[in-house]
Structure 1
Amino acid sequence: MSASQCEQGDYKAITLSENIPSAVKLNEEQHLVDQQDKGRWTKQLAFVGYGATMGSAIPAGYCVGVMNSPAVFMREWCNQTLIDRYDWHLSETGINILWSAIVSVFLISGAIGSLTGAKVANRFGRRSSYLYCGFFFITSAILFFTCRMMRSVEALIIARLLAGLAAGLSTACLPMYLAEVAPLSMRGALGVFCPIGLTVGVLVAQILSLRTVFGNADQWHIALSLYIIIVLICYAPMKYYPESPKWLYIMKGDKEGARQQLEKLRGNVDANVIKREMLAMEVEANVESQASSYGDVLKDPKLRLPLILVCAFQGGQQLSGINAVCIQVVSTDQLL
């Protein structure tokens, strides 16, 4: 055996001996986190959790449900607008195709937003990605409100596209943001904020878009844009929203910045709590550097069943027709 081979063998042995205590230490630290750091609500954590949910998840759900009740009046407006501006006389089939495009562009851009959300959040940060959602929501709301006055079907389509993009980014970035600012023992609690916010948004949209409220021939544009109020309220104190400590530590390598954000989020806690979370992020950073590819995940038998279950739940939810119920129930009822 050569000297270089001996040195390599000694190096591997030393590395292995160092990794074993690290793994044991990690398990001990994880046990301490589970037993000692039960997590608690602080003013900063509650501010972030409720503010981010109300500013992104509720508007996303609102945009899903608001098109239902005023659909009849919006179709008539689209048809009349095309006649007045372009002298286009659409058949019933043409109107149906146009309306389908207006509705479906939200879902298409939503899919794009959700698929690119992780990359946006990793590159620009969780807080900045949340800011982009607000920009798209506000812009789309302005277009929703002004499209009727401008007599522009194009503005309505662009507004739907931007709203879908914002909704897709929200559903991808918000759960990530909330999970990373929450203590380990509270990630489940904050994790349900996003789906609850979406559901509340659909409910509020169904109420405000009733024909006796704003979902009539003269006020449907108000119904479509009302979510801008809650978006502006929640995004006004944007500078007080903390950045994700995990993103600062793992993606930017800013250990001191991550520590400062943790101290703000956790409030007056023992220094060991912050130390344990910093240690957990350090270990996770090492794991991230050795992350597997999509192919490795698909080939791993241990991950195959969880992956199938997750895909089955998500696919089953979408195939249940929930989007058709929220968006097209009025039109479907008329056909029946």
Structure 2
Amino acid sequence: MSVTAVVAVVTFSPNPATAQPANPPQTASEALQRYNEVSKQVKQVNEDLLKARTDLDARNADFDKANADVAMAIETEKQAQALEEQFRGQVDTLASASFQGARFTKISALLTGSSADDFLERATALNVLAADNAEALSTYTKAVSSAAEARRLAEDGRKRAGEAKAAAEQLIAEVEKKKADLDSQAKGLEQAHERLSVKDKSDLVGPVDDGVYLAPSSSAGRAMDVALAQRGKPYVWGAEGPSSFDCSGLTLYAYRAAGVSLPHSSRAQYGFGKSVSRSELQPGDLLFYGNSVSSIHHVAMYIGGGKIVHASTTGVPVKTDSIDGGGRDYLGAKRIVG
């Protein structure tokens, strides 16, 4: 193997943020170590990209929801205005009559009636008129209030839509930049992988485990079975199956098959489920790696017995591993269901 060839690709990474020390590795094993370091950095960029895309989806959803709220508010206002027009005449007539001193009450009905039956008929009519007038006034008042509230909601919706659109436009630029960074770094990493020796590639993949693991009869167990069924499939940045995966793509794919929806980002997935301690892990739990929540770069699925199944990095297919095989920076675990 040409160690110098590996150095040419890994040391002079296109992105200065992942540039390596000037001293080149002197052995193949050092080259593999350097490859693993750069691989972790590229995974970080990939997670940045996936998180930005998840955020963009959320902003676009906010924009669509705001526009839908505006449309509904406008329709509500139209209906309220129609009710205003319908009852305004009746309310105006009542108000005008009261202003002009019209006072036809039950007492006047009694004084002017020619008989008891006549009084009852007039009194009943007065009750109907009073109820109609009260209903008209109530309906009119509610329509006026509804129209005003609809106008307020429409204005609020337009404001939220504008803010969501501006945030989405900013995120689009961020996504495009991160995608360019990822493409550049991933290309260098793939070239470095091609230049690793056969032994280094074998060490990178590690032992192959196609053993049987018993999953519980639950949604988490179903997800675990699906994840294990992907063993041997290649790692590809941003892939979520069915023929290739990255880390969060594998867990997303597995839980989707179990009827649970997760975002395609390990950092975003950390926001789901209930936190569990390492001593309480159960099959199907998701394990996260990173020095902090904001720097999470990897997610794996626990399968019992201190082992995980995960999609780790370029050149390594989906496989089982120890918990520490997911990274030395284990952060925590989440129970997604159950």
**Common topology (TM > 0.5):** no
- Of the two, which has the highest radius of gyration? 2
Q: TM-score, with normalisation over the residues of structure 1?
A: 0.24
Query: Which is richer in helix?
Result: 1
Q: Which has the higher contact order (CA 8 A, sep 6+)?
A: 1
Q: TM-score, with normalisation over the residues of structure 2?
A: 0.24
